[in-house]
Copies of this chain bind each other. A is one copy, B any other.
Amino acid sequence: MSEPFSRHAKPAVAVDVVLLTVAEGALKVLVQRHTDRGLVLPGGIVRIDEPLEAAVARVLAQKAHLPDAFVEQLYTFGAVDRDPRGRVISVAYYALVPAERLATALAAADDLLLAVMDGIEVRAPSRLGYDHADIVRVAVERLRAKIDYTAVALELLPAEFTLRALQDVYETILGVRLAKPAFRRKMLDRGFLKPTGRLETGGAHRPAEIYVRA
């Protein structure tokens, strides 16, 4: 692939990934320790012959050992001074993954951790570098908006789940308590879910039915 418009100095193009998951009743973001910038989102420079989605997949595979995940483009951040090293335009993506799928990656890489969200702000353990807190904010706002007219929440759960688990995901993301009967009926009416007929076991109460994605 040739290099066009080479008379002008060019910005660098990066992708940054906001990988969100729900664990222990909280929304969390995958971040990585950066030597002199504190915590930052996983990301990387887009190669000259690499599609944007391929760059995202590469970042996810390298950093989080995730060969596949739900990924969607979020927004492109292009402020001139967002990176002190020079002009870097970042095409941000967000990814949704069930918490279980991150366990091995977190155990293997000691520079990765899950930062806890407090509403739409990253709270623990510290602020993010660059404009990455802004990017996370936009990602959570997008997720909150999408959650109640699409089935994206299912990306945060394993293949089989109960309605209670799904409701917990909604309540965690939206930061509100929802009424159980209304939630049940809304979800079932939409047709995103399919009952398996099988039941959960182990609780000291009536076992819940197990659902899968329709």
Contact = CB atoms under 8 A, between A and B. Distances in A.
Interface in A21-73: 45-53, 73
B52 A76 contact: yes
Contact of A9 (B3, B11, B83): B3
A46 B89 contact: yes
A1 B80 contact: yes
B89 A52 contact: yes
Given A2-B85, A3-B9, A76 B91 contact: yes
Contact of A88 (B4, B11, B51): B4
Interface residues of A, number: 33
Complex copy number for this chain: 2
A10 interface: yes
Given A13-B13, A76-B52, A89-B13, A47 B8 contact: yes
Contact of A12 (B5, B79, B85, B91): B5
A14 B73 CA distance: 17
Contacts of A78: 13, 46, 51-53, 91
A89 B12 CA distance: 11
A50 B10 CA distance: 11
A82 to B, nearest CB: 10
Nearest to A52: B78
A127 interface: no
Nearest to A78: B52
Nearest to A10: B10
A76 B79 contact: no
A203 interface: no
A86 interface: yes
A137 interface: no
Interface in A188-213: none
A87 interface: yes
Contacts of A47: 8
A85 B9 CA distance: 17
Interface in A79-124: 79-80, 83, 85-89, 91
